[in-house]
Amino acid sequence: MKLTAATRFQSLWRRNLIAGAGDDSSAIYQRLLAGYKQKDRHYHSLRHIEHCLGMFEQCKSLLQKPDSVELAIWMHDVILEPGRRDNEARSAQLYLELSAGAQREEMRRLIERLIMATLHDGTSLDDADSFYMVDIDLSSFGLPWKEFLRDSLDLRAENPYLCDADYYLNQTGFQRSLLARPRFYLSDFFFERLEQQARANLARYFEYLESH
């Protein structure tokens, strides 16, 4: 039987509690839902988390600390305020607050670092699991074209305060920085499966923008 999202998260949280810690997994899950179901979310919604969890399942056996990666996936976009550059840091801080006294300190600091790796600025990439975390977060670039375009339009909808010129200047600048890397995907697993599609999608996307 497939687990519901709530059951999956609560089971993950509970099995990583330290001895004597209270079980707040239900309340924490509701806090996550409150974030991911905000009405101004279009791309960074529960659908994105579910997509990332699907990618996680495909590479789970290759991870050193799969529970830490999965918790980082659940937490990495819980706080999102368009225009702010510290959303990842604030999401990591919320996780640290929620997990204080409940999970091992080593695990807490690893999850904090995995969340911060999704800034995609090249920092916090200290081990193989960090590479997988980054690749999972970017895996939607390697979806079939129609799904990739849907996600791109949803991302645009999350930034209504920017005019098209400013938004696409920022967005394509980020995308071109990813393309300039020797490998779009850092892990062999995602490189072999999604690299070609991701690069083809972005080439087509740049042409799409020029024609619209």
Mean pLDDT, residues 28-41: 97
Mean pLDDT, residues 127-149: 98
Check pLDDT > 80 for residue 1.
no
User: How does residue 124 score in pLDDT terms, banded at 50, 70 and 90?
Assistant: confident
User: How does residue 2 score in pLDDT terms, banded at 50, 70 and 90?
Assistant: low
User: How does residue 3 score in pLDDT terms, banded at 50, 70 and 90?
Assistant: confident
Query: Structure tokens of 69?
Result: 């990666």
Looking up tokens 């911060």 gives: 116
Mean pLDDT, residues 86-103: 98
Looking up tokens 């991911």 gives: 36
Burial (Cβ within 10 Å: 0-12, 13-18, ≥19) of residue 163: exposed
Q: Whole-angstrom Cα distance, residue 140 to residue 74?
A: 16
Query: What does pLDDT average to over the chain?
Result: 96
Mean pLDDT, residues 96-110: 98
Contact (Cβ atoms closer than 8 angstroms) between residue 114 and residue 25: no
Predicted local confidence at residue 95, as pLDDT: 98
Q: Whole-angstrom Cα distance, residue 110 to residue 96?
A: 11
Percent residues over pLDDT 70 in the chain: 99
Check pLDDT > 70 for residue 57.
yes
Mean pLDDT, residues 146-171: 97
The mean-pLDDT minimum among 29-38, 44-53, 122-131, 143-152 falls in: 122-131
Contact (Cβ atoms closer than 8 angstroms) between residue 164 and residue 112: no
Percent residues over pLDDT 90 in the chain: 95
**Sign of the torsion formed by the C-alpha atoms of 203, 209, 210 and 212:** positive
Mean pLDDT, residues 19-33: 98
Compute, in degrees rounded to 10, the torsion defined by CA atoms 178, 70, 47, 152. 0
